[in-house]
Structure 1
Amino acid sequence: MISTPVYSQPVAIPVWLELAAVIAASISGVLTARKRNLDLIGAIALAVVCGLGGGLLRDMTLQVGDVYILKQPLALPISIATAAIIYIVPAIVDKPERLIPILDILSVGIYSATGADKAFVHGFDPFVCVMMGVFTAVGGGMLRDGFMGDVPGIFQRTNFYAIASIGGGATYVALMRLTPISSVAALVACVFVTIALRWLSIRFDIKSPTEDDFARWFHRKK
């Protein structure tokens, strides 16, 4: 249910940072396409799905405000160009193995904040705001896996990814609702929390629990 908006303008993100997030997310689609031996069209499709699919999923769900893929004229061309360049010259991303994961989780943090922010601008409840942040951040990867016939990675036991997005989005919404902090400062905090949760889960090999984990816990309790 929509209530009175808290403020009227979405968080302002520099265009270069916005497009950097699109590029980082698109690269993961291209790498998946190459791994599955898809052609150039398949690589472009997966890049666009990864880079812009989450935002499109959010916009279709909310049905308010602008549609990002149509509002930002550079987003789609940048995603397509990224796919073509990386597909034709894969050596660009073969060496910086550490750079791509950093850009990837950075884009998740930015998408978490912008997704939550759009719902927040239009007065949706906090839970919906956080959910839209997650849709924006991991929706593209979820659609990519679905198109490839795989169980989406966010549904499998892994280091924090969707959980990191939830943490970041919740931080953004909490700061915007409970403090006088600016939206830009809240976005920075969101990205920091998202990256920190992801890093901690990798550093200490913390993974999301499964049914088997819970079963063992109950057995120990008995």
Structure 2
Amino acid sequence: MTFSFSAVLIWLDLAGVFFFAVSGSLLAARKQFDIIGSLLLASVVSLGGGVIRDIIINAGPPTAFISPAYLAPPLLATVLVYFLFSSVQRYTSLLVLFDAGGLALFCITGSLKAMAAGMNPVAAVLLGVTTAVGGGLLRDITANEVPQLFDPKDIYALPAFTGAALTVALSVTGTFNAVTAGAVAVVVFAFRVTAWRRKWFVPLAVRGWHRLGLDTAEGKPRD
């Protein structure tokens, strides 16, 4: 690679941490948590995926625990939501947008770190997906929400699979750089948000089952 791998990775990782942290604080606000609960939920969602990733690749102490820079985004997100949330309308849309941003960046960084650790391309894709969806899963479970990962009326993992697969393919062919990384992030973000707005979904586990609570007649985008 002809660019600074570590620099790009760190900035992408920190940006992903911030986006996920905002989604956590927004969910905390919606659930009427106090500010400490907001900070904890922001930390869980933004750092959880990276911690899982570092444990799996046996990278030593997770990056979130050895680099103070990773503690700043959750704190910043908590403060921003505390002061701005009262004037924010359609907060569910904001939550999905920030979550999609974190998903788009973490599927890239997770895959890259897996490749750097010597994992094969298939395992790197799987770890990229795990990194991307792990924090959101922990966030929803902690907040007593149905995890988006298992929501039959939404698509969550497929955008992460797409981004991780593209990242690994670009890395293997030697064409991954800052520009292509940005393009992958845009593709994943657009895929996730469009799927949410258009109510795209994949087939259920058994053919013929019906999706409870899905209004197929109106087809209106959700808030």
Paired residues, number: 209
Q: Which amino acid aligns with 1:52?
A: L
* Aligned position for 2:131: 136
Moved over 4 A (4+): 14-18, 95-100
Alpha-carbon separation, structure 1, partners of 2:152 and 2:209: 16
- Contact kept, 8 Å, 2:13 with 2:109, in 1: the verdict is no
Distance change in 2, residues 1:40/1:97 (3 Å) = closer
Which sections of structure 2, spanning at least 5 residues, go unmatched? 211-223
* Aligned position for 1:116: 111
Q: Which amino acid aligns with 2:76?
A: A
Distance change in 2, residues 1:19/1:169 (3 Å) = same
1:210 corresponds to which of 204, 212, 216: 204
Alpha-carbon separation, structure 1, partners of 2:89 and 2:7: 33
1:66 CA displacement:
6.4
Distance change in 2, residues 1:130/1:207 (3 Å) = same
Distance change in 2, residues 1:61/1:207 (3 Å) = same
Q: CA RMSD in A?
A: 3.0
Secondary structure in 1 matching 2:7 = coil
Deviations 1:68-111 (A, max 9, x none): 21344222122123213413542364478766544432221111
1:90 corresponds to which of 78, 85, 91: 85
- Mapped pair 1:184 → 2:178: yes
Stretch moving more, 110-119 or 71-80:
71-80
* Aligned position for 2:187: 193
TM-score normalised over the length of structure 2 = 0.79
Secondary structure in 1 matching 2:153 = coil
Stretch moving more, 45-54 or 21-30:
21-30
- Mapped pair 1:145 → 2:140: yes
* Aligned position for 1:35: 30
* Aligned position for 2:102: 107
- Kindly, what percent of the aligned residue pairs are identical? 31
Distance change in 2, residues 1:187/1:100 (3 Å) = same
Which sections of structure 1, spanning at least 5 residues, go unmatched? 1-5, 218-222
1:29 CA displacement:
1.0
Q: Which amino acid aligns with 1:82?
A: A
TM-score normalised over the length of structure 1 = 0.79
